[in-house]
Amino acid sequence: MTHSATGERLGEGVLAGRAADDGVLGWVPALIVAYITLLSPLFVVREFSENSDAAVTASQSNAVNQLFWIGLLAGVVLFGWRRLPRLLPVLRQPTVLTILAFLGFSLASILWSPVPGIAFRRVMLQVIVVFAVVAPMFMVSDRAALLNRIVAVFLLTVAVNVVPVLTQPPGPIGHEGIYAHKNQFGLVAAYAFVFALFGAVRYRGSMRLLALTVAAIALLEIVVSRSKTSLGLSILIPALSAGVVGLSAVSGIRAVYLVIFGAVFGICGYVFFNYLFDYSFADLSMLLFDDTTFTGRTEIWDFIFGIISRQPVFGQGYGSFWGTGAGSIVALEAPGFIGQLLQSHNGYVDVLLETGAIGFGLLVLFVFFTLFDVGGFRGSSRAEAWLVLCVALFAILHNMLESSWFRGYTLAWLMFLMAAAYSAAQKEAAR
């Protein structure tokens, strides 16, 4: 046996030992993704979809959901109690500090919430979710194995959704897969597409071929879902992230600076183009969605900003506006279809609505610090740097038209949280 082959065998043995040492903790992130993409649609979404009053249903607790997250929290503490001291240095991470500050302010907002019982339940859920996602990232030794398991879950999710796509007719606005709405199906397929591409780079042989096949199927699932937002981001973000990571490697400039420069350049370019050709926001909406209101979103935002003006600093209270029952502001004052919604279709607007300028400022800081961690990522390969950047940018842009920031256990929010924790954990380990 050659020296090189011996080294490879030893390396594989070390990785296997590290993965074995991580035990249950090493499976927690993959289990969370599986719950959102596969288990939750069967036990949670189905119950919601059969009820005609969305606001009343959303205001009620769900026993299956509570059991899962409380059980997961207990599992993380039980199987990781020897590693809990590893979390102490984490408190110096700016990303973690801003998350804790946001959760602390959200807990305080119960004092002025019109529905303190609902607000308390949602804050506690968010505390459990954040701990269950973030803690394992800092407690495990083999983070690369975490990514492999998450990739496997997404590959399985794509395969499961092939069955309803082939056997069931699409809904009036797009195919829903195993989910309650076509946008959720499109979002899951979009993340699966990104992780399948990552698997195609990371794997070899037949596994690479499998990952490429699943990536192609995931892209087709996005198309049949007719989720324009997910389709556009699936095409834009992987290419943009690859360009940023490649340019960063060649130039030596941190990726975060390239992202910020690109964002500023894009905004300035749009303003200049708008001024030069009188190309309005409504024209952009017509190009993307075939109407001038971003499929009704501008009507929602007009109503929501009127509500924000009532409590601009502190907000209505975390989790205290959407889906809070028949006596809520939405039920009593919202015009037309807005009364049946559970979000404003903009994550930044919803954070401003529920936690005011204080919560919004903390969100901006959290995204800013996360971008610096992701943009300066030092993983085991450029593929990992590309993946975490894809996940971060996806959530940042997706929240322009949908709402997921600090919102329950929505997929976009938890994937961003995983990317933030993964990058911060790698930075902490490098110290």
Length of the chain: 431
Distance, in Å, from the CA atom of 358 to the CA atom of 179, rounded to the nearest integer, reads: 34
**Strand, coil or helix: 320:** coil
Distance, in Å, from the CA atom of 205 to the CA atom of 208, rounded to the nearest integer, reads: 5
Residue 356 has a pLDDT of 96
Token digits of residue 10:
């030893």
Residue 281 has a pLDDT of 58
Q: Half-sphere exposure (CA, 13 Å, Cβ side) for 314? A: 11
Task: Enumerate the domain spans of the chain.
Answer: 51-139+227-430
Residue 208 has a pLDDT of 92
Residue 62 has a pLDDT of 76
**Strand, coil or helix: 310:** coil
Q: What is the DSSP string of 180-235?
A: SSHHHHHHHHHHHHHHHHHHHHH--HHHHHHHHHHHHHHHHHHHHHT-HHHHHHHH
* CA distances (Å), origin 386, targets 74, 241, 243, 394: 33, 6, 9, 12
Q: Going residue by residue through the chain (431 aa), what tens digit of pLDDT does each one get? A: 444 343 333 333 333 444 447 788 999 999 999 999 998 887 654 444 434 455 555 666 677 888 899 999 999 999 988 888 888 888 888 999 999 999 999 999 999 999 999 999 999 999 999 999 999 999 988 888 889 999 999 999 999 999 999 999 988 889 999 998 899 999 999 999 999 999 999 888 899 999 999 999 999 999 999 998 899 999 999 999 999 888 888 887 877 778 888 778 777 776 776 666 666 656 666 656 566 666 678 889 999 999 999 999 999 999 999 988 878 898 888 888 888 888 999 999 999 999 999 999 999 999 999 988 887 665 557 888 899 999 999 999 999 989 999 998 899 999 999 999 998 888 877 76
Question: Residue 21: in which H helix or E strand, if any?
Answer: helix 3-22
Distance of CA 116 to the CA centre of its chain: 26
Residue 372 has a pLDDT of 85
